[in-house]
Amino acid sequence: MSKKEVQRKPEWLKIKLNTNENYTGLKKMMREKNLHTVCEEARCPNIHECWAVRRTATFMILGDVCTRACRFCAVKTGLPTELDWQEPERVADSVELMNLKHAVVTAVARDDLKDGGAAIFAETVKAIRKKNPFTSIEVLPSDMGGVEENLKTLMDARPDILNHNIETVKRLTPRIRARATYERSLEFLRRAKEMQPDIPTKSSIMVGLGETKEELIEAMDDLRANNVDILTLGQYLQPSKKHLDVQKYYHPDEFAELREIALKKGFSHCEAGPLVRSSYHADEQVNSAAKHRQELAEQEAQQA
């Protein structure tokens, strides 16, 4: 039996497609507004659930061409030209039209920009908040070159959640991520929490790339040591033959075990499952983080 046959997708990775009017309507609106979504660009397996059922979407600003060529990612790589200062307003308008309770804003890595795209990120947060005061906002930036000033620009806009993904375990990072480093991502998350201690931080890990359970637990410990509140764990799926092969398909029971381990380590929320992605059920995570902060505050008040 060949390796490819051994690694055939298991039953639990089959996706139910739903192309109702919510899905088609959102797709039409994104094109009319000249907006990109990571849901489409990264070929997210949950696009039908999120667009058709939950009516949520993750906006991808700063164009659709990334300056990095990570070996797991389906987003186009090249030299970007797009820098559209009207984009924050278009995103805010779309959030209003969609009547979103929670909006996620991510972006391609823009190493060609001195600020890594921080200014447009911040303007997008402000524009959404102005038009949609009751919508919670999550941002998912690259490491922005590890420049503290860039992160400060973004955190000063006060998103409700700062999400930055370490993607994989320490040992595999050089092979899987382009330009980014494991240590710099941890530092980015730690600095975000130091700048705005009341804003929850979040990170995500893909599994199935050859990591061990011990390495996953080590990564959890590293995230908690840098005060990360929320963790998502999902199965890596190969976008094309050019990308890294899947080394293992984790069973749902294994995800359940990893989730229990994460919660015991102190994460306020952990979403874990074969089709879980960084923005999956993000609306629930922000509520969970807020509830966890309230419980901690009550405990501290009782101890005082």
70 known member of a binding site? yes
Spatial distance between the Cα atoms of 86 and 92, rounded to a whole number of angstroms: 10
Beta strands of 57-163 (E only): which ranges?
Answer: 58-61, 65-66, 76-77, 102-107, 136-140, 161-163
279 known member of a binding site? yes
SS3 206: strand
Q: Classify residue 14 as exposed, middle or buried by CB count within 10 Å of its CB (0-12, 13-18, 19+).
A: exposed
142 known member of a binding site? no
Q: Is 266 left (phi over 0), alpha (psi -120 to 50) or beta?
A: left
Q: Is 290 left (phi over 0), alpha (psi -120 to 50) or beta?
A: alpha
240 known member of a binding site? no
The single-letter DSSP state of residue 51 is I
Spatial distance between the Cα atoms of 286 and 284, rounded to a whole number of angstroms: 6
270 known member of a binding site? no
CA-CA distances (angstroms) from residue 178 to 164, 211, 240, 244? Answer: 15, 18, 17, 13
Task: Report the binding-site residues.
Answer: 39, 44, 50, 66, 70, 73, 279
- What are the binding residues for [4Fe-4S] cluster? 39, 44, 50, 66, 70, 73, 279
